[in-house]
Amino acid sequence: MQDFDIAQLRTFVAAVDAGSLTAAAPQVFLSQSAVSEQLRKLEERAGHPLLVRSKSGVVPTPAGERLLAHARRLLALSEAAWRDLHGVALAGTLRLGVTDYFRTAEMAALLARLGAQHPQVRLCVTVRKSDEVEAGHARGEFDLAITMRIVEGGARRPAGDELRREPLRWAAAPGVRRARGEPLRLVALPDTCSIHRFVVGLLARRKVPHAVVHVASGVAGLHSALAAGLGIGCLNESALPASGAVALPAPHGLPALPQAVFRLLPPRAGEAAFVAQAREVVKAAFA
């Protein structure tokens, strides 16, 4: 059978988080020699060195980083299963950072699912631009973070678990079209927005004359500007408004657009078991 021993994975995660085998030993109730033996067997099972050992401690190898992500998920699932069978509720405060391009209805459904399954979990949700969410997550402001990135050919795949990908669309109020011979009237979010930067760069590369005529503070404001006929904008498909603006039908004479991908950012070192379990709930909602 090709699998891993859960106790060895737990020891591996403890060693990485603690930074040394000596510090990890009391956390898993083993002697240092027993920790070393478990890690030796795990590396043998993995077929790769998992840790770089030095006088200053241990750090994961590239293979170790890959296994670490799997190990955290497996340990979280194991603990969640134990809690479920023993009737122990998941409880605590979960700080969730989400890109403002994540569709509102889906976010509401996700929060409702978390609340229904784990009523003792207190949710604190912050909606920001993806760059701000990523920076906040790196600073430890969020336990879980969902961001959006544009998928371009040859681009390095961002870290984290992919939740969904969907196309970008040019959008405007019904009947609004780019006037021939005139610059494209572009409505967008501020230039801190990844879609804003991508679209402006794309139009410049394709030598499409354009001018940003309206800058909205958020997606709801962008919807209003589009519905008012102020210009043409770019949105991920699920963020198109239910009314007031539509995707431009082809042929619209504008450059083709790539896809956007939503990701759940990877765990930081030392992520609490409670957060790891909540991470699995979020991922399950998109399975």
Q: pLDDT tens digits for 148-160?
A: 999 876 556 667 8
pLDDT at 75: 81
* pLDDT class of 195 with cuts at 50, 70, 90: very high
Asked whether the predicted pLDDT for residue 247 surpasses 70, the reply is yes
* pLDDT class of 255 with cuts at 50, 70, 90: very high
Q: For 29-38, 192-201, 206-215, which range has the lowest pLDDT when averaged over its residues?
A: 29-38
Higher pLDDT, 85 or 215: 215
Higher pLDDT, 77 or 47: 47
Strand partners, 270: none
* pLDDT class of 167 with cuts at 50, 70, 90: very high
- Give the CA count within 13 Å in the CB-facing half-sphere of 161: 19
What does the chain look like in DSSP terms, one character per residue?
-----HHHHHHHHHHHHHSSHHHHGGGTT--HHHHHHHHHHHHHHHTS--EEEETTEEEE-HHHHHHHHHHHHHHHHHHHHHHHHHTPPP-EEEEEEEETTS-HHHHHHHHHHHHHH-TTEEEEEEEE-HHHHHHHHHTTS-SEEEEEEEE-TTPPPPSSEEEEEEEEEEEESTT--PPTTS-EEEEES-TTSHHHHHHHHHHHHTT--EEEEEE-SSHHHHHHHHHTT--BEEEEGGGS-SSS-EEPPSP-SS----EEEEEEPPPPTT--HHHHHHHHHHHHTT-
* pLDDT class of 70 with cuts at 50, 70, 90: confident
pLDDT at 102: 84
pLDDT at 260: 93
pLDDT at 201: 94
pLDDT at 261: 92
Q: Phi first, then psi: what are they for 237, rounded to 5°?
A: -55, -45
Asked whether the predicted pLDDT for residue 243 surpasses 80, the reply is yes
pLDDT digits (tens, 9 = 90+) for 97-108: 999 888 766 677
Burial of residue 162, with CB atoms counted within 10 A of its CB: 0-12 exposed, 13-18 middle, 19 or more buried: middle
pLDDT at 265: 92
* pLDDT class of 86 with cuts at 50, 70, 90: low
CA–CA gap between residue 230 and residue 16 (Å, rounded): 53
Asked whether the predicted pLDDT for residue 206 surpasses 90, the reply is yes
pLDDT at 202: 95
Mean of pLDDT values over 188-204: 93
Q: How much of the chain exceeds pLDDT 70, in percent?
A: 88
pLDDT digits (tens, 9 = 90+) for 110-150: 777 666 666 777 778 888 889 899 999 999 899 899 999 99
pLDDT digits (tens, 9 = 90+) for 12-22: 988 888 888 88
pLDDT at 155: 57
pLDDT at 216: 93
